[in-house]
Structure 1
């Protein structure tokens, strides 16, 4: 088993992070394009109502059956679309484009929707997978490409269903879920509000804004010293700080942040990257994802409060720690980490 040692003074001495370029884009692109049609191993995560529900992943999820689980497949598609749009030379022979044409069809979307409408699975992927589906829809909507327009129209009914699920669920959520993994409420809200604003869905945006403020407005003194837990890929403190940056104006946000996470307002703020001891372990490798998601949050918070330029250095340190370790050597990391790296790089370059 390979061990990956963490050397604090080397990490803290780095003052730059890699930029998203064609070489980096190809490295990330190869990961989801490799696995979107790999059906096994697969973590289904669904509830069986009877023996009639014993089906293969591809039978119940004819689009998003690859990359180990549904949400990883969905955000793998997001990565593919994002990179094909920005770097068309990655698919000059149209191999991936032709594959997407076979997958994102009306008939396949209908099957995917029937699974979400099954009475035993109406909370499936709430809200992590929901949020990534909306990010995929948002990316397709913004691509003025003949095939992308068709894929967008085909996928829209499933996205509309997800929005309805959000609207039903959020008012019933008395307390936010503050984990460092998939169920984290703030992370799902953050991705969802980006979609709402991109498509100018004011009612959906208002639901997210109102509920975010209801859930988080009174929070204070988040103890980031307790982070991370052993398999986190999200920071509960930073994800909450991020969603609140999206629903408050600059002045009110800074006042709220002073009570919630005052360390961020001090120019000596520092946060060491999460240490990954074994990248073949599907849970331990989550900490690479944590480094990427922390970087994303810090970049976006700094965009909200431009005076906090030192946050970019902390973000860069996290990005640098894990970026060079994104490879296809082991499936436990390769099937999903590329997306989190791409999302961080995208936010760095904004």
Structure 2
């Protein structure tokens, strides 16, 4: 895969710094219990009010934290530090916690935003300034409890290619549990993944891509199982789940999606699909021996998808407010 060069890091950081505190345009999925709940985005969310929507703002912060850790001397580093020292502070996080404490917020940002919040917490764990992660911790604890309360109730997974996909959330949450040593949470995530996906075989992927996918339901399920299963068990599961990879089948997983209108927020999701597929293909290829005939096929698919998506992380705000995060995921989270 293409490395995260200093040029890429600087470019992506500048993009995120331009939108994580940009309040408008804004898309709010907000339940009102009364007229007093009709507030502006920054009144509802003292930290994560930018980037068009809450979850995109959260993973914008994750990306900035990741870039700062990997490139601490890049030109944008002082601005990132100033942002975090201004925004990731106890009183602002208390406002975010208050939102999640509202009765109508029980399912708010479930599961996509939950997963990204824990991914941010994992990135801040052991970062250069421990006060950032410490300030976030009350919100982190609330999201961990959300997972603990919800997963035992979730009889079925959600297999779409958008925010409601449950495999993606488990995958991100697993990184947090592993990073901080929360064995109880990790085992809950593992048990849930096995309950939901453990008997899946011969995935046809015939419905991919849908018109607004930014995740591959097939590939993110496989990557979720890779993250949560012991290696030997995963190898057997993966062989049965996608048995024809060496022949580039299912063919729907190997061709980047065509994006007809990047000013349409839903259609622009398809650029994110290319980037998330690149991440999944590269991670999954890394589980195979170098002599495995599937490996070069998967690496080629990863490169093709990355090239298709990374060219479009900026331009129209419908993609620009989030796509760079997925590019950084693809560039920094592969084996």
The two structures have a TM-score, normalised by structure 2, of 0.94
Q: What are the superposed Cα offsets for residues 64-104 of structure 1, whole Å, 9 maximum, x if unpaired?
A: 00000000000000011111121123346723322221111
Task: Give matches, 1:1-350, under 5 Å.
Answer: 18-91=2-75, 94-143=78-127, 145=128, 148-264=129-245, 266=246, 268-269=248-249, 271-306=254-289, 307=292, 308-310=294-296, 311-327=298-314, 329-348=315-334, 350=335
Q: Per the alignment, in what secondary structure is the counterpart of residue 261 of structure 2?
A: coil
Distance 1:72 1:92, change over 3 A: closer
The size of the alignment, in residue pairs, is 328
User: What is the CA–CA distance in structure 2 between the aligned matches of 1:254 and 1:83, rounded to whole Å?
Assistant: 32
- Which segments of structure 1 move beyond 6 Å, counting only runs of 4 or more? none
Structure 1: distance between partners of 2:91 and 2:169: 27
Distance 2:157 2:248 in 1: 30
Checking the alignment, whether the CA contact within 8 Å between 2:10 and 2:75 is kept in structure 1 is no
Deviation at 1:304, TM superposition (A): 2.1
TM-score using structure 1 length? 0.90
Deviation at 1:267, TM superposition (A): 5.5
Q: Distance in 2 between matches of 1:241 and 1:273?
A: 18
SS at match of 2:117: helix
- Which structure 1 segments of 5+ residues have no match? 1-16
What is the RMSD computed on CA atoms of the aligned residues? 1.5
